């Protein structure tokens, strides 16, 4: 089979597999970024789309979300279709890039290229990036990285065209600012260039393209989404060792798809973290040193390792202790791992008989296909996804709270209350700073009680939240004022209304008689 027929067949299989979850739900960050963000619901109002209030700096993504919402309002089909198309485009670009490396530098045959791209398309660890609506951010980031790499390696377009692409990529994700570094790593390894190349006119143009991040951050970056890294809260070495320990979780996820979850909880710092983190850190540093020393002799190893490290290094894409770790962040880094696996399998052809090698490849394909199908079934509904994730992390406050919210959305208020109360109890026993909840279960209970007209419970919950100094939105105050009106408690109503007007001076807050 020719390379073109093979890539078409692999893409067709990918589309077929991902059709099982084409109607999968909005979950996790999808809710507040897209579903409840009315400014992204009208593609014709570009001012609201540009200044939507949440992750404004990712303008390209917000335009995609607004367009998809216009195509399928409140449904996920258009969002998933865009993700699948981006996944296929990334696979095509990866195929072109690896094909160029093979024909120009390695000359080992195309088997390893085909295996790498097949793993990239169909490995179960890729599913969250493609099936999770907000996974678009990682897919778009990978698209710009691979596109710039292909154009840079093929040298068919001017440096200013690539510079323009780098500038554009800053409006997809902030970490695309590192694209020039990846291009430079390509020149250091495969082209054998020295540090002096960094001062050439080509990299000057790339650097100018990266400066697009500045106006982007100054104009669009001022929104309600403020990232927090573990370095802000934890002792340096404790945080670093926990990061290194997470590499072992990564290795397990590559093998065991049953451990996949919507989010992964990072354990509190302990002795095992110190031991596993130290081993992981030593391995990390050793491989980085080896990659640098042998970058000219083994360019694919050097580039692959440094590409992997660079992808996961920035604190807003690396494994965080503050926020639960999500698998979609591994999408681009997986390329290096898949290359390593493909090369090992290709090397095995020298020692295995052709028939035995065919059996090994067939077994691997069946295992991946079955695992991917199982994960597709998990992602087919919000409840099934959360049930599976809670099976992996039964003590997760975040997942328990999300399960309550899912039942709340489906109108199963008894089950929602059960999970909210369970999450509230679990949160009191979690001493990690990373478990600090900026929107605790009590807030979700308050909103549910308000919606179901359980007035007394709603009032009690609101006052608990106010005592906890939770930063409540205007909607919470409106629910509370409605509850006080139903209770005919005008004194507390006027006090709460004054508090809301002080906190939100530019928003409308109705008075006792339903007027402004």
What's the pLDDT at 42? Answer: 86
Supply the DSSP symbol for 269.
Answer: P
Q: Which H or E element spans position 372? A: helix 354-378
- What tokens appear for 30 in the block? 């999808």
Burial of 155 from C-beta contacts in 10 A (0-12 / 13-18 / 19+): exposed
Least confidently predicted of 55-64, 228-237, 438-447: 228-237
Share of the chain above pLDDT 70, in %: 90
- What tokens appear for 86 in the block? 């981006």
Q: Do 242 and 274 form a contact (C-beta atoms < 8 A)? A: no
Phi, psi of 264 (to 5 degrees): -120, 130
Query: Is residue 144 predicted with pLDDT exceeding 90?
Result: yes
The more confidently predicted of residues 117 and 257 is: 117
Q: How far is CA 484 from CA 19, 115, 273, 446, 457, in A?
A: 48, 64, 50, 13, 12
How many angstroms separate the CA atoms of 427 and 421, rounded?
A: 10
What's the pLDDT at 316? Answer: 47
Q: Do 357 and 115 form a contact (C-beta atoms < 8 A)? A: no
The more confidently predicted of residues 417 and 52 is: 417
- What tokens appear for 367 in the block? 């295992």
What's the pLDDT at 317? Answer: 47
What's the pLDDT at 97? Answer: 93
What's the pLDDT at 244? Answer: 83
The CATH class of 392-503 is: mainly alpha
Query: Is residue 165 predicted with pLDDT exceeding 70?
Result: yes
The more confidently predicted of residues 219 and 367 is: 367
User: What pLDDT band is residue 225 in, cutting at 50, 70 and 90?
Assistant: low
- The mean pLDDT of 350-364, rounded to a whole number, is 79
pLDDT tens, position by position, 371-424: 888 888 888 888 999 999 999 889 888 889 889 988 988 889 899 989 988 988
pLDDT tens, position by position, 237-294: 887 888 888 888 888 888 888 888 888 877 777 888 899 989 988 998 899 999 988 8
> Rounded to 10 degrees, what is the CA torsion of 135, 141, 147, 149?
-130
Query: Is residue 228 predicted with pLDDT exceeding 60?
Result: no
**DSSP assignment of 291-309, as one string?**
HHHTTTTSHHHHHHHHHHH
Q: Is the pTM of this model over 0.75?
A: yes
| Selection from 219-223, 267-271, 367-371 with the highest mean pLDDT | 367-371
User: What pLDDT band is residue 468 in, cutting at 50, 70 and 90?
Assistant: confident
The more confidently predicted of residues 40 and 468 is: 40
Supply the DSSP symbol for 103.
Answer: I
Mean pLDDT, the chain, integer: 83
- The mean pLDDT of 194-212, rounded to a whole number, is 77
What's the pLDDT at 303? Answer: 92
Residue intervals in the chain for CATH 1.25.40: 392-503
User: What pLDDT band is residue 357 in, cutting at 50, 70 and 90?
Assistant: confident
How many angstroms separate the CA atoms of 292 and 314, rounded?
A: 20
How many angstroms separate the CA atoms of 32 and 123, rounded?
A: 29
């Amino acid at each position: 089979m020719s390379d073109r027929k093979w890539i078409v067949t692999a893409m067709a299989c990918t589309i077929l597999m991902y059709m099982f979850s084409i109607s999968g739900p909005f979950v996790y960050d999808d809710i507040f970024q897209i579903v409840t963000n009315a400014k992204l619901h009208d593609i014709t109002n570009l001012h609201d789309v540009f200044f939507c209030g949440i992750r404004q700096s990712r303008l390209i993504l917000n335009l995609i979300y607004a367009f998809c919402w216009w195509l399928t309002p409140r449904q996920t089909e258009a969002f998933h279709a865009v993700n699948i198309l981006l996944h296929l485009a990334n696979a095509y670009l990866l195929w072109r890039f690896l094909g160029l490396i093979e024909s120009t530098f390695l000359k080992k045959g195309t088997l390893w290229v085909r295996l790498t791209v097949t793993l990239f398309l169909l490995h179960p660890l890729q599913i969250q990036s493609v099936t999770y609506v907000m996974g678009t951010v990682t897919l778009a980031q990978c698209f710009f990285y691979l596109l710039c790499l292909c154009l840079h390696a093929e040298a068919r377009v001017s440096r200013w065209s690539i510079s323009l692409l780098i500038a554009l990529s800053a409006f997809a994700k902030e970490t695309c600012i590192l694209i020039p570094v990846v291009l430079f790593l390509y020149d250091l390894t495969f082209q054998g260039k020295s540090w002096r190349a960094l001062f050439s006119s080509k990299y000057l143009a790339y650097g100018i393209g990266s400066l697009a991040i500045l106006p982007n951050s100054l104009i669009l970056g001022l929104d309600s989404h403020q990232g927090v890294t573990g370095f802000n809260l934890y002792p340096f070495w404790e945080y670093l060792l926990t990061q290194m320990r997470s590499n072992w979780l990564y290795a397990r996820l590559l093998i065991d798809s049953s451990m996949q979850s919507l989010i992964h909880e990072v354990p509190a710092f302990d002795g095992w973290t110190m031991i596993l983190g130290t081993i992981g850190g030593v391995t990390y540093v050793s491989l980085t040193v080896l990659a640098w020393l042998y970058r000219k002799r083994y360019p694919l190893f050097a580039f692959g390792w440094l590409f992997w490290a660079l992808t996961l290094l920035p604190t807003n894409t690396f494994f965080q202790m503050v926020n639960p770790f999500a698998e979609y962040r591994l999408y681009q880094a997986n390329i290096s791992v898949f290359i390593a696996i493909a090369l090992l399998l290709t090397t095995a052809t020298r020692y295995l008989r052709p028939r035995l090698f065919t059996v090994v490849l067939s077994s691997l394909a069946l295992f991946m296909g079955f695992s991917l199908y199982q994960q597709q079934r998990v992602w087919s509904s919000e409840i099934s996804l959360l049930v599976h994730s809670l099976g992996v992390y039964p003590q997760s406050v975040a997942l328990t709270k999300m399960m309550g919210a899912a039942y709340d959305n489906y109108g199963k208020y008894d089950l929602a209350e059960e999970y909210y109360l369970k999450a509230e109890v679990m949160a009191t026993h979690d001493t990690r700073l990373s478990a600090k909840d900026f929107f605790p279960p009590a807030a979700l209970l308050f909103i549910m009680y308000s919606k179901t007209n359980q007035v007394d419970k709603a009032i009690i919950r609101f006052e608990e939240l106010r005592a906890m100094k939770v930063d409540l939105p205007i909607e919470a105050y409106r629910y509370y004022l409605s509850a006080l009106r139903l209770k005919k408690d005008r004194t507390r109503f006027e006090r709460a209304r004054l508090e809301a007007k002080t906190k939100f001076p530019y928003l409308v807050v109705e008075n006792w008689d339903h007027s402004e």
